A and B are shown apart, each in its own frame.
Chain A
Amino acid sequence: MKVGLLYSRIRRDEKLLLSELRERGHEVTKIDVRKEQFNISQAPDVFEGLDIVVDRCLATSRSLYITQFLESYDVPVVNAAETADVCADKVKNSLALEAAGVPTPNTEVAFTTDSALETVEEFGYPCVIKPVVGSWGRLMAKVESRSAAEAILEHKATLGHYQHKVFYVQEFVEKPGRDIRVVAVDGEPVAAMTRSSDHWLTNAAKGGEVAAFEVDDRALELVEAASAAVGGGLLGVDLMETGDDYTVHEVNHTVEFKALNDAVDVDVPSEVVDWLETKANAETEAAV
């Protein structure tokens, strides 16, 4: 198949994917999105003849727009624009999970520092304030007191970008020092790992230690539901253990899997390429 890979930075994740695609004899076109221009009616030449395009943009803003352009050009892209739209924004992510009946941490959004402070006080301490767009645990705040909340909210209000004035406040979930990342393709788990840390943030990007995790029936059910809730695709579903159940706090749409690949026996890029082949074949058949 002819595969386009959208990127602005080749991480180890992209390198693993590229290697697997090339080893299987697929024709791969790397597309540096920084060098392209996207016309509203005419696709850039680089997309001509591609069976499928894989969005691996590091910048969420680019991912959101380019997936929409590709869909308007009728170029098959994974993940879909709808999935990117829901996953890129924590508010939309939480709403989608809630609407699908997937357990997710209780969350409120407020638009002024005063109303956000009221929400924080209602949740009690600790609670969590997150940016609505962002990743790798950046700018996340565990709020332990009213005075800390006042300071964080004031700082956010002065950061400049309007998104920081969308105050996303969430209950703090007492997790057992770890959370769970499941990489799944259209709801079917490829592999899973725990991410452990003494710090409240357990992201692998923050240095959390990773270990393989066996997905049980309940986690499987939640991963399927969470994936469907955001429109499916190649996803990273993040869960926390709450004693007798799980809560899904986030679904990621340009999922990194290098840490997972190191932690498990599964060949993650191979599984992902299997799925891409299936997707591309389905797109080709649908077009005939």
Chain B
Amino acid sequence: MAETITAEDPLSGEEIEIPADVEVGEIVDSPATGAELEVVSVDPITLEEAPELEEDWGE
């Protein structure tokens, strides 16, 4: 299993486990709420609610 670190879920306030190799800008799914969270800092690890999908997103 990949190494994990602990971070605070900004929505529920719970401590959650996320992959240890995340980097700024990455999106993780919260195991507590299922919400998408954005990694805004890695030292210290800080998560925010990810932006909603917008119409012009894609490839």
Contact = CB atoms under 8 A, between A and B. Distances in A.
Interface string B20-54: 00011111000000000010000000000011001
Interface stretch (A120-128, A133-141, A263-271): A133-141
Interface majority SS (helix, strand, loop, mixed), chain B: loop
Nearest to A11: B27
- Sorting the interface of chain B by its residue count into under 10, 10 to 19, 20 to 34 or 35 or more gives 10 to 19
A32 interface: yes
B3 interface: no
A135 B27 contact: no
Interface of A: 7-11, 14-15, 18, 30, 32, 58-61, 133-136, 138, 161, 236, 252-256
Contact of B56 (A15, A30, A59): A59
Given A7-B25, A15-B23, A61 B58 contact: no
Give me the 4 closest cross-chain CB pairs, A-B, nearest first: A135-B58, A10-B25, A60-B56, A10-B26
Contacts of B26: 9-10, 15
B59 A134 contact: no
Interface of B: 23-27, 38, 50-51, 54-59
Contacts of A11: 27
Contacts of B56: 59-61, 133-134
A73 to B, nearest CB: 23
A161 B55 contact: yes
A59 B59 contact: no
Given A9-B25, A32-B25, A256 B55 contact: no
B23, B54, B56, B59, most chain A CB atoms within 10 A: B59
A133 B57 CA distance: 9
Contact of A133 (B50, B51, B55): B55
Nearest to B56: A60
Contacts of B51: 8-9
A10 B57 contact: no
A253 B58 CA distance: 10
B49 to A, nearest CB: 13
Nearest to A63: B56
A58 B58 contact: yes
A30 B55 CA distance: 24
A253 B56 CA distance: 13
Contacts of A134: 55-56, 58
14 contacts: A8-B51, A9-B25, A9-B27, A9-B38, A14-B25, A15-B23, A32-B24, A59-B54, A60-B57, A61-B56, A135-B57, A135-B59, A253-B59, A254-B58
A60 B51 CA distance: 15
A7 B51 CA distance: 14
A77 B54 CA distance: 24
